Structure 1
Amino acid sequence: MEEKLNKILTKIEEADSVLIGASNGLSISEGIHIFAENADFLENFGDFRKKYGFRSIIQGCFYPFPTEEEKWAFFSRMYNYFLYNEEASPVMKNLYELVKDKNFFVVTSNIDDHFRQAGFPRDRLFEIEGNCRNLQCTIGCHDQIYPGDEILSEMAEKQENGKVPADRIPTCPECGGPMQVHLEVDRNFLKGEAWQKSLQAYQDFIGSAHGKKIVLLELGVGARNQLIKAPLMNLTHQEEHATYITFNRGSELYIPEAIATKSIGVDGNLAEVLQQLAQEK
Structure 2
Amino acid sequence: MKITEIQKTIEDAEMIVIGIGAELRADKIIPYDSEEIKAYYEKLGMKQYQHVLEEAKDKEDFAYLRELYYAYYIQTQKISTIYDSLAKVLEGKNYFIITSNTDDLIYSSSLDAARIVAPCGTRRLFQCSKGCSKNLYPAKELILAKLEEFELTGDMSRIRCGKCKEELIFNIREKENPANYVEEGYLSQWGNYTKWLQGTLNKRFLALELGEGFEQPSLFHWPFERIVYFNQKAKLVRVHNKLSQIGEELKERATSVPISAIEFLG
Pick the TM interval, shorter chain.
Answer: 0.7 to 0.9
Q: What's the Cα RMSD here?
A: 3.3
Q: Percent identity?
A: 21
Stretches of structure 1 lacking an aligned partner (at least 5 in a row) = 35-41, 53-68, 276-281
1:263 aligns with 2:261: no
Say if 2:16 and 2:206, in contact at 8 Å, map to a contact too. Answer: yes
Distance in 1, Cα, partners of 2:231 & 2:52: 45
Q: Does 1:153 align with 2:152?
A: no
Alignment of 1:68-217 (within 5 A): 73-80=65-72, 83=74, 86-159=77-150, 164-166=155-157, 169-172=159-162, 177-185=166-174, 186=177, 187-192=179-184, 194-217=185-208
Q: Which moved more, 1:83-92 or 1:24-33?
A: 24-33
3-state DSSP of counterpart to 1:252: coil
Equivalent AA in structure 1 for residue 253 of structure 2:
K
Contact 1:223 1:254 in 2 (8 A): no
State the alpha-carbon separation in 1 of the partners of residues 187 and 117 from structure 2.
9
Secondary structure of 1:102's counterpart equals: coil
1:64-122 superposed Cα distances (whole Å, 9 cap, x missing partner): xxxxx778535413424x61771323301101111131111111111111221113333
Q: Which amino acid counterpart does residue 181 of structure 1 have in structure 2?
A: F
Structure 2 unaligned spans of 5+: 33-49
TM-score (norm 1): 0.74
50, 55, 58: which one aligns with 1:50:
58
Per-residue deviation, 1:133: 2.3
Paired residue type of 1:200? G
Distance 1:196 1:180, change over 3 A: same
Amino acid at match of 2:59: K
Question: Deviation at 1:225?
Answer: 4.1
| Cα distance in 2 between the residues matched to 1:29 and 1:257 | 34
CA distance in structure 2 between the partners assigned to 1:225 and 1:183 by the alignment: 14
